[in-house]
Amino acid sequence: MRREQLDIQLKTPEQIELMRGAGLVVAAALQAMREAVAPGISTGELDAIAEKVIRDAGAVPSFKGYHGFPASICASVNNQVVHGIPSTEQVLREGDLISLDCGAILEGWHGDSAITVGVGETDPQLLKLAEVAEDSMWAGIAAAARGAANGRGRLTDISFNVEKTVRKAGRYGIVDGYGGHGIGTEMHQDPHVLNHGKPGKGPKLVPGLALAIEPMITMGSPRTAELSDGWTVVTRDGSIAAHVEHTMAILEDGVWVTTAPDGGRARLGDLVTARQEAVGSHSE
């Protein structure tokens, strides 16, 4: 079932349960990388860890080969915002900040999620940057849940609440030109989800809609540039960046953060669907 104006794919509850399977694979891969992050490890080694977790689960890395991308994760260090290509020659150092973005396909359905973590002893200001990005992501997801519940929600309510949370937290740059997206049988679908904007615009937030919400913020200017490798996006002013992401889906009785092990329960409480307990506990 597709909505005509933007070619938005709406999923059945059963299809969302299949997306949950892919989401849990992604969550496991990110957790394995989180535990491995330390001074001296290379981003290439982190890529190998993620790929093993994904393939051992019977899934396929969705990034590998995507428009020619050569790896299973994006590993973006310090001033790299997104789409960093892992390398055995890129070795993490004490105090680095790394964003790890990972996707998997299971039974034809996608999960997509990202975390930003410090390497060893990390400047508290950089850890706060990552925390603000995460808080803004959850604010956007919560806005989607509330808007779907009251029947008045629109896509840019997510954008507005992401931006509001970042602005209240301090002087951070919100990267323009990149954002979240629809997700389902393909990794990137309509609609595009900006991380800034006025509320109350765009498609209605309705059951069956699945979105990847992914704020990208910097310690300085929001302006970016793409490196000659054709992938890596960096801040123009060299400031440190953070990127986080979760896949979420709207059901009749709440949202399901399919890439969060607890389905989003800890951050969203009763805004989470009751299906999370029944299916999520069984899946884990």
**pLDDT interval class at 284 (50, 70, 90):** very low
The residue behind tokens 């990127």 is 243
pLDDT of 145 higher than 70: yes
**pLDDT interval class at 277 (50, 70, 90):** confident
Say if residue 191 is preceded by a cis peptide, omega within 30 of 0: yes
Return all residues near 232 (Cβ < 8 A) that are at least 6 apart.
Answer: 76, 80, 83, 84, 85, 226
Q: Encoding tokens for residue 82?
A: 């997104």
Mean of pLDDT values over 85-112: 98
pLDDT of 210 higher than 90: yes
Mean of pLDDT values over 219-226: 98
The two most distant CA atoms of the chain are separated, in Å, by: 51
Can you give the pLDDT at residue 202?
96
Q: Encoding tokens for residue 96?
A: 């680095």
What does the alpha-carbon distance between residue 177 and residue 267 come to, in Å, rounded to a whole number?
Answer: 28
Q: Which amino acid, 148?
A: A
Mean of pLDDT values over 59-76: 98
Note the pLDDT tens digit of each residue in 235-274: 999 999 999 999 999 999 999 999 999 999 999 999 999 9
pLDDT of 228 higher than 70: yes
**pLDDT interval class at 276 (50, 70, 90):** confident
Mean of pLDDT values over 188-217: 98
Can you give the pLDDT at residue 6?
85
Mean of pLDDT values over 155-180: 97
Q: Encoding tokens for residue 265?
A: 């329960």
Mean pLDDT of the chain: 95
Can you give the pLDDT at residue 67?
96
pLDDT of 281 higher than 70: no
Beta bridge partners of 156: none
Higher pLDDT, 275 or 215: 215
% of the chain surpassing 90 pLDDT: 94
DSSP codes of every residue in 178-241: --EEE-SSSSSEEEEE-SS--SS-SSB--TT-EEEE--EEESS---EEE-TTSS-EEETT---E
Mean of pLDDT values over 62-72: 97
Mean of pLDDT values over 120-147: 98
- CA-wise closest residue to 82 among 210, 235, 203, 197: 235
Note the helical H segments in 70-154.
124-150
Mean of pLDDT values over 125-146: 98
Can you give the pLDDT at residue 278?
56
What does the alpha-carbon distance between residue 232 and residue 96 come to, in Å, rounded to a whole number?
Answer: 17
Q: Backbone phi, then psi, for 172, in 5-degree steps?
A: -115, 150
**pLDDT interval class at 283 (50, 70, 90):** very low
Return all residues near 220 (Cβ < 8 A) that are at least 6 apart.
Answer: 173, 235, 237, 238, 239
Note the pLDDT tens digit of each residue in 46-57: 999 999 999 999
Note the pLDDT tens digit of each residue in 27-46: 999 999 999 999 999 999 99
Query: Do the beta carbons of residue 33 and residue 76 sit within 8 Å?
Result: no
